[in-house]
Structure 1
Amino acid sequence: MSISLNPYLFFDGNTREAVHFYEKVLGGKVMGIMTYGDMPADPNNPLTDDMKDRVMHAHLKVGDADLMFSDTYAGMPYQPGNTIQIAIHPKEEDRAREIFAALEDGGQVIIPLHKTAWSPLYGMVQDKFGITFNVNVPG
């Protein structure tokens, strides 16, 4: 069984600026930046022009470490200082379900586990201590 963890930093519309700032300060390398507009359109939830430009996911490699970034989605609360989540990447879907269920116990599901364009299984859950986790099986 294999699993990896990394910090996931959230911003309110200025993720691209933050990624390039940390790239310069930490001597990292941007591995990719994807906007919400880069994803397949959902006719049931059309994006505003502002949302299309927001960063859905960015990856910065710093030495052996991975930092991930995202802008909040419209309507999601944003409070500076409370913007770091933990991304968990179990390789097996069964293990992802076990971890998600354990974190959900006494906590709150934010995004149920489901198949996405980038992952066979992804979900977001806040545990009973108020820590938010992104559970993502690598695609």
Structure 2
Amino acid sequence: MTIRLNPYLNFDGNTREAVLFYEKALRGQLLSLTTFGDMPADPNYPLPEGAKDRVMHALLKVGEGELMFSDTFPGMPHQPGDTVTIALHPSEESEARGIFAALEDGGHVVMPLQKTEWSPLYGMLKDKFGVIFQVNVAAEHPKP
């Protein structure tokens, strides 16, 4: 079984500023930054005003580790202290389902496990202790 994990920091509209600050302060390397507006439009779920420029996901390499970042979606509650989640990256979907089910016991599902633009299986939940976990199986990229 292979699982990677990393801190995932959430901000309320100032993720880009935070990522650039941490990149400099921690001598990191920004590997990716995607805004909500960069994603394909979905007529069933139009982006609200102010969402387009917010950061949906950013990845900063720091030494041998990684930090992930995101802005909250406009209108989502944001409370300092709830700004860090734990991102788990199991290598197999069966592992992801088992981990998700175990953490879900006594907790609350924020986003059920499902296929997304970036993952064959992704979901988010708050466990019974109030810790937020993101479970993400990495997408396989075809080899050239």
TM over 0.5: yes
Structure 1 residues 1-139: aligned runs within 5 Å: 1-139=1-139
Deviation at 1:44, TM superposition (A): 1.2
The residue identity in structure 2 corresponding to 1:136 is N
Preserved contact between residue 50 and residue 74 of structure 2 (Cα < 8 Å): no
Provide the TM-score with structure 1 as the length reference. Answer: 0.98
- Counting matched residue pairs gives 139
Summarize deviations over 1:69-94 as a string: whole Å, max 9, x none.
Answer: 00001222100122100000001000
For structure 1, list consecutive stretches of 5 or more residues without a partner in the other structure: none
Deviating more after overlay: 93-102 vs 68-77? 68-77
Q: Does the 8 Å contact 2:48/2:74 carry over to 1?
A: no
Q: Shift of the alpha carbon at 1:50?
A: 1.3
Instruction: Structure 2 unaligned segments of length 5 or more: list them.
Output: 140-144
TM-score, length basis structure 2: 0.94
Greater than 3 Å deviation, 4+ residue runs: none
Task: Give the % identical residues.
Answer: 68
Structure number having the greater helix percentage: 1
Taking the aligned partners of 2:25 and 2:10, their CA distance within structure 1 comes to 18
Aligned equivalents of 1:108, 1:11: Cα separation in 2: 21
User: CA-to-partner distance for each residue in 1:28-63, whole Å, 9 max, x for gaps?
Assistant: 000010001111111111003410110000000000
